[in-house]
Structure 1
Amino acid sequence: MINIIVLITYILLMVAIAAWLGKRSKMKTGTDFVLAGQSLPAWVLAGTMLTTFVGSGSIIGGASFVFQNGPLAGIFFFLGTLLGALTLGFLAQKIRRKSFHTVPQLLRTRFGNSTGVIGTVIVLIAFTGIAATQFTGAGYIFSLITPLSQTQGAVIAVLLITFLALAGGLKSVAWTDFLSAVVIIIGLVVAVGFVLVQDIGGFGSYVDRLDPALSSVTGPLTPLQILGYFLPLFLLCLGDQNMHQRLSAAKSPRTAQRAAFLFFAGGLMMVIPIILLASSATIVNPGSDPDMAVLGLAVGGFTPEVVGAVILVTALALIVTTGSSYLLTCSGNIVYDLIFRGRESTEQAQPGKQVLTARVSVVVVAVCAYILVQFFPTLLDLQMYAYTMYGAAVTPAVLAALFWRRVSAAGAVASMLTGGVATVLWEVFGDGVNSVVVAFPIAAAVLVITSLATKPAPALEESPAQRRAAAEA
């Protein structure tokens, strides 16, 4: 009963905030919907960046990885997120000054329309997959808290996550993300403290009782296999459209930089408890399904009911916030890269059309994501596919567009196509390591070689608004 009360309280709070921020008077244009009117302070941005990136891929997929391979290997898995956040801190001011609504818009501006179209297709494929993982994860949690099956729980998750995304755009998503981040960090710290002290007997006992097979630096995996898990998160974080949109939504370039460094600090406060909880499960609940490593502690009698409720709602908060963010960013692609591409005057002339289109797009992407998730056997499989599709096919071109003056349009197109095709082919025919280990080096090499052999693309020209932002730095 306590689980259900806590769950309902959290859901009602999130829905109320989203509904309030979604009032028409607070959201008039497409920029208001996608970039929150570029009004977000650093601490809210940090919270939404954190909860966007640390979702079911961490509390379920990442925990599954730690459970099977050990805490030290888990550090390498999550290091991709932490190093990605830290690197964004040094790139944030330039990203904010450019202030693009979407990554394909950046690619189109630098390399031309064909590159933008290719980028849009890849982004939508990858991000729809990431949104799908959140539906699966939430379905797990609803089935643990309520009498609903996992499938029924996933349907409820689709409805909840979709509402949060379409109600108030990035403003509602950012604020609900921030509040969820506070709940998540407190919940994880409370859970770790109880499990380590009450169930295991302290950190020393934890070290002594850990399976020796899971105590080595890489666990049962080879260094190359570990790299296959590190790279997808690192590359996704650097090029993630969600991260770029949130940095673009900052009040100023300096605000964006502060937010990125706070994102790194918050990541530490989330990742460390997840690693400790998942590895503790190998001691107190060794028969657990890997996907349920952390969640199983809440329902297996290893914690009091209140602590168990905190763990479950914390996990749900991680998943809901990530899912709503990826639905929202996909709607931005449809609005700015497909339907209203090249029609910049529409926002001033008929601003309501972009908001309506964005909301309809959220619903369409949610349905597609729910269908996609039916074709992957485990959440971790879908997670690695989606991360690699973006990290290998899009991130090299994005970073080159921002930071390499010699890059060419031909190089960007060749890199994206090569990265996408290599990812799919390795997923179908490859074995031994994750596809990113193969796809990313090939895509990066093709980008450099083709660019050096062809004419460079024109440098990005800053708009008056971007020049004003640069003056603020």
Structure 2
Amino acid sequence: MTYIVAISAYLVLLTIFGLIVARKKVKTSDDMVTGGHRIPFIILVGTLLATWCGGGGITGSASVVYTGGPWVGLITFAAPPIGIILLYFIAGKVRKSNKVTVPEIMGARYGKAASIIAALCVMLAYVGVLATQLKAAADIIVLLCASSGIEISHGLALTICTALIAIITVGGGLVSVAYSDAISALLMIGGFFLAIPFLIGVANSQGATLPPEKMTITGGMSGWELLGYFLPSLALMLGDQNMLQRFASAKNSDEAKKSNIGMFIGEILVIISIVLVVTQAAKLYPTLDVPSNVIFQVAVDYLPLAFGALVMCACMAFIVTTADSYLLSSATNLTNDIYVKYIRKDATDKQKMLVLRGTIIVFSFIAVALTLYFPTVLSLQMTAYTMYGAAITPAILFALFSKKVTPAGGMAGILVGGLVTIIWTLMGTPYGIQCAIVAVPASVIAILIVSAVTRCNDPKRSLEALYQDN
């Protein structure tokens, strides 16, 4: 019962805090989407970290560490820090361009068609990811209620989680999300590091050790398997619209770059904490039916009540911060890249805010529907999310840095990256090679070849024009 009270209190307080901040700081649609380009440095660092470190880190990635061992965990978790180092050079460019979504950048360099395709791709992927986060949050509540002798349906738990996340997001957009994320980031790091000494003590007192196969560098995995875990994460981070949107919310380009350094430090701490917690759990649980639940299981079974509750709140923080970010980002796409550009170009600020908030609510319902009624579609959404790193990231990087890329080249990269991902997935990932290993290089090659044989005669599509007067 204590776990339920703790998580409920965390969610309610987080919602109230987000609404209070939003009431004071949100006046326009720009405040909703970018925080008025005035998000403070420490808050920006917190929201960058919390946005990236989502439920996947404590479920899917945790299961990789549990299955392969700590060295495999460190190898696969190395992608985000490397991506953050590269993002340092991207952050200033994004802020300088004054664009807040991926389709905006695509449209500026590649034209209308690329902008629309990118918007649809991002919305499809992000609503799917939102659905998985909502399901994970509901699973935690159902699990903890069951352990306390309380029966609650998954649908009710899902409704509660969705309502709170939607309220935080619709109340103040990026402002409430960013400030709530900063609190959650502190809770994530603090909760896990406080739990580590207790788990080490329990494992040592029981004489529990890791199996020999989990102590090897590769954990029994092939190089292709390790690369298959590493590359999609790296490709996604470099083109993730959530990251770009937060860089756009910084006061200036220098502030955006500095926030990236803070994110790097925070990410290292998160990686260390997850690997250490799961490693100790792997000692205590030689086998688990559901490896993705390893952190939840060890928190409930082995930690003192107060620390177990803190870790479970931290787990919920991982999930909530990812869910509200993807919800806001996908709603921003429909508002900025579809409604304002092609439906009502003369929309007032009040109309933009109304559409943005309405879209947040609609997308929340769609995500719930995916979770409740279309589990197979949900898996397709995750395939689309994997496709994001191949179809979007190469094209967005060329758009930000390359003078020679042409609109035809950018479109070729988007289409080839997406098609190769779909075809490779339908073929059942031949030879065990993950689709990102094939699709990302294919996208890059397509951009280079097509750009080499085509020209861009429109000066508005040049690299210089992207940063002009911004």
Equivalent residue, structure 2, for 1:471: none
Q: Please identify, of 98-107 and 154-163, the stretch whose mean Cα deviation from structure 2 is larger.
A: 154-163
8 Å Cα contact 1:165/1:173 also seen in 2: yes
Amino acid at match of 2:292: D
1:410 equivalent to 2:408? Answer: yes
AA at the equivalent of 1:157: C
Match of 2:363 among 362, 365, 384: 365
SS at 2:455 equivalent: coil
Aligned pair count reads: 457
Which of the residues 180, 183, 187 maps onto 1:183?
Answer: 187
Residue 422 of structure 1 is matched in structure 2 by 420
1:114 and 1:464, CA in 2 relative to 1: closer, same or farther beyond 3 A? Answer: closer
Report the AA paired with residue 160 of structure 1: L
Q: Distance in 1 between matches of 2:216 and 2:153?
A: 38
Query: Structure 1 376/277 Cα, relative in aligned 2: closer, same or farther at 3 Å?
Result: farther
RMSD, matched Cα:
2.2
Q: 1:133 matched to which residue of 2?
A: 132
* Maintained 8 Å contact 1:118/1:413: no
Please say if residues 184 and 317 of structure 1, whose CA atoms lie closer than 8 Å, have aligned partners that are also in contact.
yes
| Closer, same or farther: CA 68–309 of 1 in aligned 2, 3 Å | same
1:120 Cα deviation after fit: 0.7
| Cα distance in 1 between the residues matched to 2:380 and 2:270 | 22
| TM superposition shift of 1:372 | 3.3
Change in 2 beyond 3 A, CA 1:384/1:70 = farther
Alpha-carbon separation, structure 2, partners of 1:377 and 1:73: 29
CA contact (8 A) 1:52 1:321 kept: yes
Distance 2:376 2:281 in 1: 23
- The aligned residue for residue 242 of structure 2 is 242
Q: CA shift at 1:286, angstroms?
A: 2.6
Match of 1:470 in 2: none
Counterparts of 1:20-419 in structure 2 under 5 Å? 20-23=20-23, 26-146=25-145, 147=150, 148-201=152-205, 209-288=209-288, 289-299=290-300, 301-341=301-341, 346=346, 350-373=348-371, 375=374, 385-419=383-417
* 1:233-281 alpha-carbon deviations (Å, 9 max, x no partner): 1111111111011011001111111111111100011111111212222
| 1:150, distance to aligned residue in structure 2 (A) | 4.0
> How far is 1:90 from its partner?
2.6
The alpha-carbon deviation at position 189 of structure 1 amounts to 0.2
Letter of the structure 1 residue corresponding to residue 109 of structure 2: R
1:18 counterpart residue number:
18
SS in 2 for 1:294: helix
- Taking the aligned partners of 1:378 and 1:215, their CA distance within structure 2 comes to 37
Tell whether the 8 Å contact from 2:65 to 2:275 is kept in structure 1 after alignment: yes
For residue 462 of structure 1, report the CA deviation from its aligned partner. Answer: 5.1
> TM-score if structure 1 supplies the norm length?
0.91
Kindly indicate whether the alpha-carbon contact (under 8 Å) linking 2:49 and 2:185 is maintained by their aligned counterparts in 1: yes
Q: What is the letter of the counterpart of residue 177 of structure 2?
A: V
Q: CA 1:443–1:376 in structure 2 vs 1: closer, same or farther (change >3 Å)?
A: farther
Question: 2:199, 2:281 within 8 Å by CA — same for their partners in 1?
Answer: no
Equivalent pair of 1:130/1:386 in contact (CA under 8 Å): no
**1:449 equivalent in alignment to 2:449:** yes
TM superposition shift of 1:303: 1.2
Shift of 1:149: 4.2
Shift of 1:78: 1.5
2:162/2:364 contact within 8 Å kept:
yes
Whether the aligned pair in 2 keeps the contact of 1:110 and 1:460 (CA below 8 Å) is no
**In 1: Cα distance, 2:173 partner to 2:256 partner:** 19
* Greater Cα offset, 157-166 or 364-373: 364-373
Structure 1's unaligned 5+ residue stretches are 467-473
- 1:163-194 residue CA offsets vs partner (Å, 9 max, x unmatched): 21111000000000001111111101011121
Q: 8 Å contact 2:125–2:381 — kept in the other structure?
A: no
C-alpha separation in 2, matches of 1:132 and 1:357: 21
The residue that corresponds to 1:439 in the other structure is 439
- Over 3 Å counting, the alpha-carbon distance change for 1:160 and 1:430 in structure 2 is same
Give the C-alpha shift of residue 458 in structure 1. 2.4
- Change in Cα spacing, 1:304 to 1:377, as seen in structure 2 (3 Å) is farther
- Residue 102 of structure 1: CA displacement? 0.7
Counterpart residue type for residue 230 of structure 1 = F
More moved, 326-335 vs 190-199? 190-199
Counterparts of 2:383 and 2:251, CA distance in 1:
34
Asked whether the equivalents of residues 85 and 263 of structure 1 are also in contact (C-alpha less than 8 Å), the reply is: yes
Displacement of 1:293: 0.9
Alpha-carbon shift at residue 140 of structure 1 (Å): 2.0
Q: Is 1:459 paired with 2:460?
A: no
Give the AA of the match of 2:366: C
The amino acid of 1:176's aligned partner reads S
How far off is 1:371 after superposition? Answer: 3.2
Distance 1:20 1:316, change over 3 A: same
Q: 1:377 to 1:316 in 2, by over 3 A?
A: farther
User: Aligned letter for 2:283?
Assistant: I
TM-score, normalised with respect to structure 2: 0.92
Give the stretch that moved more between structures: 275-284 or 58-67: 275-284
